[in-house]
Amino acid sequence: MEKLMYMMLIEKSKTYNKITKKVITEHVENIRRLDDEGKLEICGVFKGYPGMAGMYILKTESREEAEDLCNREPLVVGGYATYKLVGFQAANRENNYLL
């Protein structure tokens, strides 16, 4: 069985609209670090979904490692967002779309 990736769904908290430029900069630095470490498959912003900020798909060795990375996200640390962590198995040509 193929190893899971983990999707971090980032949900806005009540204080999300008070986010500072400093926190946004730290958030982008965190994305760069995850990418440099090979832990980030893809990330992005949700448009048109109230309450949702965006998501990361993380490549980690375990759910615990993914949970640790989520808890270090500056939006979460600062209380501007919460998250849900979901196991994710990609379907692609190499695994015959999970057939």
- 87 within domain boundaries: yes
- 75 within domain boundaries: yes
- 98 within domain boundaries: no
Assess whether pLDDT exceeds 90 at residue 1.
no
- 67 within domain boundaries: yes
Whole-structure pTM value: 0.91
Question: Ramachandran region of residue 16, left (φ > 0), alpha (ψ -120 to 50) or beta?
Answer: alpha
- 57 within domain boundaries: yes
- 66 within domain boundaries: yes
Q: What percentage of the chain exceeds 70 in pLDDT?
A: 98
**What length is written for the chain?**
99
Q: Please tell me the distance from the alpha carbon of residue 60 to that of residue 63, in angstroms, as a whole number.
A: 7
Assess whether pLDDT exceeds 90 at residue 71.
yes
Local structure of 67: helix, strand or coil: helix
Determine which helix (DSSP H) or strand (DSSP E) holds 2, and give its type and residue range.
Answer: none
- 9 within domain boundaries: yes
pLDDT tens digits for 4-46?
Answer: 899 999 999 999 999 999 999 999 999 999 999 999 999 999 9
Assess whether pLDDT exceeds 90 at residue 2.
no
Residue 86 vs residues 5, 29, 35, 78, 94: alpha-carbon distances, Å: 9, 23, 19, 22, 22
Structure tokens at 44: 């992005």
Question: Residue 52 sits in a domain of what CATH number?
Answer: 3.30.70.1060
State how many domains the chain has. 1
Domain that holds residue 12: 5-91
Assess whether pLDDT exceeds 90 at residue 3.
no
- 23 within domain boundaries: yes
Q: Please tell me the distance from the alpha carbon of residue 41 to that of residue 49, in angstroms, as a whole number.
A: 22
| Section 71-97 average pLDDT | 95
